Amino acid sequence: MADIRPFRAFRPRAEVAARVASVPYDVLNSAEARIMAADEPLSFLHVVKAEIDLPEAEARDPEKIYACSAANLQNMIREEVLVQDDKPAFYIYRLQMGDHTQFGLAAGCSVDEYESGAIKKHEFTRRDKEDDRARHMEILGVNAGPVLFAYRPEAAVRSIIERICQSAPAVEFIADDDIGHAIWVVDGSEDIAAIQKAFAGIDALYVADGHHRTASALRVRDIYRDRNENHNGNEAYNHFLAVMFSEDELQLMGYHRVVQDLNGLSSEVFLTQVRDLFDVTETTDPAPAGHHQWGMFLDGQWYNLKAKSGTFPADDPVRGLDAAILQELLLEPVLGIGDPRKDSRIDFIGGSRGFGELERRCGEDMAVAFAFAPASVGQIMAVADADAVMPPKSTWFEPKLRSGLLVRSLTD
């Protein structure tokens, strides 16, 4: 069963919600965040990337950044940019991107269930990133940004969400990237009980996006628990903020690769080796037609690559993935990319940036690009169910949740 809890969210007043809501902390660097928030003092980037408000020397000191984040958050609360709801509630979060719409339920999800494996993961986490998010969470005393979870379709949950969303949302706006965001507050006792009963029938939740924040919630729970002589398991820090979406509503895009050089090969020799490994055709359409296919951009020309039958284990939930196949057949043996997590010669481009970004990078600082078809949520769940991990940079979810629309306290 999924143990989910309502909470008293800090939320921006409706009239400033569009100004407060920010992209997640990990989809842009500090320089980009400075530009994005330069003319917007209410942006939640001042909380999740507070280095933008510090002098250059202090912006390299993590503890100064965390202190600035906490001060900025408290200023937003004191000035009633963020206002805490009077009653615990669940929150429905609707995202709209073009013709695509998805409805998520925001709740406190159980740290115990993550620790036991009932909340399943599909990625390794890095210790340094866990350290950063855990310390940020500990100092601020809140979940500043939501994790994105998936669950298998559940008719009872869908019915409740559809009924509630017939009413007007508490907040609704279109962000500057044309993504629509809307929030419904669900604080009636009968609705809360019905939602908890419906989720009690869901066997597992799956971390779709936000593995470091999820792992950090476990570490912060342990810190808060060890400080509390009267710990009983019902404190707010035993749960963490997630927005849960039905598997069939989530949308993924390809997560592409660009490589800096051809590992000492000429373009002609490299292309010959690629032809030995894949079925290769020239094309004007960079989009892969399906799985086990890639677009490749080399010397101003797009090619379609298709894996040859028998060159990969199709029944393996991990090694049969497109990212694993390309890594094992081409990136490592031909281009010398042994560990894509650490090799500085490879970079990763989210699908929302488009194929034009791959062409631009190849004209600027890269030699070859590989365009991927989107992974599926079913593939992610199969990997998680097998207690395995996806290859690095395999999933790019779009549209993305905004930070600052829902902030959850760890002490209330």
Share of the chain above pLDDT 90, in %: 93
In whole angstroms, give the CA distance from residue 225 to residue 246: 32
Number of Cα atoms under 13 Å in the Cβ half of residue 179: 16
CB 85 within 8 A of CB 11: yes
Number of Cα atoms under 13 Å in the Cβ half of residue 285: 6
Q: Which residues contact 290 (CB under 8 A, 6 or more apart)?
A: 373
Q: What is the pLDDT of residue 187?
A: 97
The sheet carrying 255-259 orders its strands as 278-283, 301-307, 293-298, 368-372, 255-259, 346-350
pLDDT digits over 378-403, tens only? 999 999 999 999 988 889 999 999 99
Report the phi/psi class of residue 392: left, alpha or beta, with left for phi > 0 and alpha for psi in -120 to 50: beta
Q: Measuring CA to CA, how many Å separate 72 from each of 52, 77, 240, 367, 405? A: 12, 9, 21, 42, 15
- Joined tokens for residue 82: 């963020």
- Joined tokens for residue 359: 């062409």
Q: What is the amino acid identity at position 48? A: V
Domain with CATH 3.30.1760 in the chain: 255-373
Q: What is the amino acid identity at position 272? A: T
Q: What is the amino acid identity at position 30? A: S
User: What architecture is the 255-373 domain classified under in CATH?
Assistant: 2-Layer Sandwich (3.30)
In whole angstroms, give the CA distance from residue 219 to residue 197: 28
pLDDT digits over 195-247, tens only? 999 999 899 999 999 999 999 999 999 999 999 999 999 999 999 999 999 99
Helix, strand, coil shares of the chain, percent, nearest 5, are 35, 25, 35
pLDDT digits over 15-62, tens only? 999 999 999 988 888 999 999 999 999 999 999 999 999 998 899 999
